Amino acid sequence: MKRNGEVVKSFKEMALDWKVPYPTNRYCNPGASRPSKIEYHQHCVPSNLCKIIWSLTECHGVVPPQPYYEACVASGCSEEHPSTECQSMQTYAALCGLHGVCVDWRRLASGQCEASCPQDQVYKPCGDAKRNTCFSRGVVMDTLPSQNSTSVFVEGCYCPDGKILLNDHDGVCVSVCGCTAQDGSVKQPREAWEHDCQYCTCDEATLNISCLPRPCAKSPPINCTKEGFVRKIKPRLEDPCCTETVCECDIKTCIINKTACDLGFQPVVAMSEDGCCPIFSCIPKGVCVSEGVEFKPGAVVPKSSCENCVCTDEQDPVTQTNRIQCLPVQCQTTCQQGFRYVEEKGQCCSQCQQVACVANFPFGNVTIEVGKSYKDPYDNCTHYTCTESAGQFSLTSTIKVCLPFEEANCVPGTVEVSSDGCCKTCIDLPHKCKRNVKEQYIVHGKCKSAAPVPVPFCEGMCSTYSVYSFEASEMEHKCTCCHEKRSHKAKVELVCSDHKTVQFTYVYVDECGCVETKCPKRIT
């Protein structure tokens, strides 16, 4: 149905007839489109949202509600467009506003069709159809279908009271109309500011921005004479919008001579006094150098085997490296007893080599050379001899064994000691008492030894004398007999006639000698 009440079959024709006049909105242009086929259920239950049309009674007199109610129900029941009920309600409210009737239908929709506005705009259900901007303040928009003074209301997003739209496409609300600066801020008419090294002003009539480059003073001519410096154009420190020519170091223009440092030195870089180019030089590391090797202070420096060398902290003024201090190797020349320090060619320090034997005694140690003997000071019969074979030294002891000696068997006054002090000798008495041994069978009763048995016995003469004693005023006699002095019992096995064996014990003489006996007194 068109605005004049005529019912038509074309949705497009109806929609274009009800188009809201909005000349400044370039997006509201009719375009060719295929009409949508609307299908809905015959038994669809109308929603509460569509029923709001019946509560807008103040508009029923100018816009019949029935067609729009049916369109709303059809939209809600449509399978292809099930969510267009809010659009149907918005269309009816817009028609009411065109006839000067204000309806706040969204308030009755319980939040189902909330309007969304930009951050700095507010929603109004009955706003003015005339939307002035800073660029259309003199344009008067005719929104009435007929030439009368009836008020027209249009719902939508509006600037808050006291503000106006800057233009018709940004949606920015401003308190005072002005120009939009480069940074997005709004400048007031005739306002001047500086941006990007330009002086800008806001034109009051056109609200356009005009900018002119900011003038700069010319830089005086400059020549760069120092090594490594070149002319460069740079922003001034006090005024970055203007440039000046300065001399600036460019190391790429320098001629750099890198020198290799000797051992013990390290490269350093310094800046020339009259330029910016680096100068390479070598300075001492504070180390010692020997045989192509660097040594830190305190480190041992290998030299000859006869010296101990250490790197010091002292610098040699000639070489500018640290001095190396060397001291002769201290050899251990003190040897233990029986050893002697023997020097060897080609060796800094030799070794102690054994040259003699050492005998230990309670009073101390005695050194005995090879091939020589030493008599035991506590035993005249023991001698020690040192021998050497293949570098091995041996100390051997020799004990001299003396023949049995009985002074009683000696002629008085002939007893002598051998030259080494070990044994006694003398002139034996004729037929002196001595021990002899004979081999014989031992017979006892009817038993006899199976073999001859050695049987020692004593025989010989002993001294006997008689002399007058003036002290006793009588003859004094001395009588000695050849007698056993030491013996023991020995056992021998005897075989008897009945072939039995028995043990027989007899006296076995070990030593014989002259034993003094008592001489019988002779009565005269």
Assess whether pLDDT exceeds 90 at residue 323: yes
Least reliable range by pLDDT among 113-122, 316-325, 400-409, 481-490: 400-409
Dihedral class, residue 391 (left if φ above 0, else alpha if ψ from -120 to 50, else beta): left
Q: Is 334 helix (H, G, I), strand (E, B) or coil?
A: coil
Least reliable range by pLDDT among 125-139, 272-286, 379-393, 473-487: 125-139
Distance (Å, whole) CA 484 – CA 421: 29
Whether 510 contacts 487, CB under 8 Å? yes
Assess whether pLDDT exceeds 80 at residue 373: yes
Least reliable range by pLDDT among 22-36, 198-212, 391-405: 22-36
Least reliable range by pLDDT among 83-92, 252-261, 351-360, 425-434: 425-434
Assess whether pLDDT exceeds 80 at residue 258: no
The residue assigned the tokens 């005269």 is 524
Three-state secondary structure string covering 261-283: CCCCEEEEEEECCCCCCEEEEEE
Least reliable range by pLDDT among 16-20, 157-161, 164-168, 200-204: 16-20
Q: Which two tokens stand for residue 420?
A: 């080494």
* Residue 511 counted as domain residue: yes
* Residue 486 counted as domain residue: yes
Alpha helices, DSSP H, located in 376-432: none
* Residue 158 counted as domain residue: no
Amino acid at 230: V
> How far does CA 130 lie from the centroid of its chain?
79
* Residue 73 counted as domain residue: no
φ, ψ (nearest 5 deg) of residue 300: -80, 130
Return the higher-pLDDT residue of 387 and 463: 387
Least reliable range by pLDDT among 75-84, 266-275, 326-335, 496-505: 75-84
Helices then strands, counting H and E runs in the chain, come out as: 4, 34
* Residue 305 counted as domain residue: yes
Assess whether pLDDT exceeds 90 at residue 270: no
Mean model confidence pLDDT for the chain: 83
* Residue 475 counted as domain residue: yes
Section 118-127 average pLDDT: 88
Return the higher-pLDDT residue of 12 and 374: 374
**Parallel, antiparallel, or unpaired for β 278-284 and 229-235?**
unpaired
Least reliable range by pLDDT among 13-17, 178-182, 274-278, 437-441: 13-17
Distance (Å, whole) CA 427 – CA 415: 7
Residue of 242, 245, 243 lying closest to 194 (CA atoms)? 242
Which pLDDT does position 9 carry in this prediction? 60
Which pLDDT does position 324 carry in this prediction? 94
* Residue 512 counted as domain residue: yes
Distance (Å, whole) CA 245 – CA 236: 9
Predicted confidence (pLDDT) per residue in 290-300, tens digit: 999 999 999 99
Q: Does the pTM exceed 0.75?
A: no
CA distances from 443 to 2, 145, 447, 504 (A): 184, 188, 6, 10
Q: Which two tokens stand for residue 4?
A: 């004049």
Distance (Å, whole) CA 464 – CA 287: 105
Which pLDDT does position 143 carry in this prediction? 37
What is the widest separation between alpha-carbon atoms in the chain? 218
Q: Per the structure, how many domains does the chain have?
A: 2
Distance (Å, whole) CA 125 – CA 93: 9
* Residue 105 counted as domain residue: no
CATH number for the domain that contains residue 441: 2.10.90.10
Assess whether pLDDT exceeds 70 at residue 311: yes
Provide the residue range defining the domain that includes 509. 434-517
Return the higher-pLDDT residue of 107 and 149: 107
Assess whether pLDDT exceeds 90 at residue 167: no
Least reliable range by pLDDT among 5-14, 58-67, 175-184: 5-14
Section 336-348 average pLDDT: 85
Which pLDDT does position 442 carry in this prediction? 92
Sorting pLDDT into bands at 50, 70 and 90, what band is 449? Answer: very high
Residue of 255, 263, 334, 270 lying closest to 293 (CA atoms)? 263
Whether 89 contacts 52, CB under 8 Å? yes
Least reliable range by pLDDT among 85-94, 383-392, 400-409, 432-441: 400-409
Q: What percent of the chain has pLDDT above 70?
A: 88
Which pLDDT does position 524 carry in this prediction? 54
